[in-house]
């Protein structure tokens, strides 16, 4: 068995967990959205996230015997999930947008790009699907920015961003631990994600000012 296969299986399982969280969160966001266009766009995102989770599940199974390694993958999104649920339960749609479209989506985007560096038994077919999923994830990031602009900046916006940023940093470092490869720089991985998040936040903020 390819020595990289268990590592790849764990990474894809982490991606699947994130897609499930994104699907559940986007659906709840859609129910809370104040305008029709926002409700429809977030419902579309939820449907796309469900399909991404299904694709990730298939990708793990294609790995065959190595797929058992995915069962050992911890839920690195657990803390993010709990915070998102608290914000949604409190009716804080804007805060949930910071958490999902700002942090979770950027984590997924960076992870998808890393996965493109690994060979997979499904070959070109999976690579094509990965590119499609990556394009949709980038669309979700832009949607989050547009929704935040429409909602306006809520009180404690900066504090919430910092809190989600810290949760995202912890999740990214846990992903790096799963890779177990000296060539994978955990801090560089997080810096890449944090740079994307900062740019995203600046774009949303500039449109509100």
Cβ-Cβ contacts under 8 Å for 150 (sequence gap 6 or more): 35, 38
Long-range contacts made by residues 113-118, C-beta under 8 angstroms, separation at least 24?
114/11, 114/189, 115/8, 115/11, 115/12, 115/15, 118/4, 118/7, 118/8, 118/11
What's the whole-model pTM score? Answer: 0.84
Q: Residue 185 phi/psi, 5° resolution?
A: -90, 105
> pLDDT (tens digit, 9 = 90+) per residue, 22-65?
999 999 999 999 999 999 999 999 999 999 899 888 888 887 76
The pLDDT assigned to 1 comes to 43
Domain regions of the chain by residue span: 5-208
pLDDT in tens, 93-135: 999 999 999 899 888 888 777 776 656 655 554 566 667 777 8
Q: How far is residue 110's CA from residue 193's CA, in Å, rounded to a whole number?
A: 7
For the structural domain made of 5-208, what CATH number should be given?
1.20.1260.10
């Amino acid at each position: 068995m390819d020595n990289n296969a268990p590592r790849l299986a764990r990474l894809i399982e982490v991606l699947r967990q994130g897609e499930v969280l994104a699907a559940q969160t986007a659906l709840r966001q859609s129910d809370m959205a104040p305008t029709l266009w926002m409700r429809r766009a977030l419902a579309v995102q939820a449907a796309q996230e469900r399909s991404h989770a299904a694709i990730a599940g298939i990708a793990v199974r294609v790995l065959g015997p190595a797929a058992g390694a995915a069962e050992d993958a911890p839920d690195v999104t657990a803390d993010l999930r709990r915070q998102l649920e608290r914000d949604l339960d409190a009716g804080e749609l804007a805060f949930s947008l910071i958490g999902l479209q700002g942090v979770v989506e950027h984590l997924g985007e960076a992870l998808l790009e890393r996965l493109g560096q690994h060979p997979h038994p499904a070959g070109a077919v999976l690579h094509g699907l990965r590119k499609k999923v990556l394009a949709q994830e980038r669309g979700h990031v832009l949607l989050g920015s547009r929704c935040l602009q429409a909602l306006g900046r809520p009180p404690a916006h900066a504090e919430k961003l910092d809190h989600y940023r810290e949760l995202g940093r912890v999740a990214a470092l846990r992903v790096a631990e799963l890779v177990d490869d000296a060539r994978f720089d955990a801090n560089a991985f997080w810096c890449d994600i944090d740079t994307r998040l900062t740019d995203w936040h600046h774009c949303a903020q500039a449109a509100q000012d």
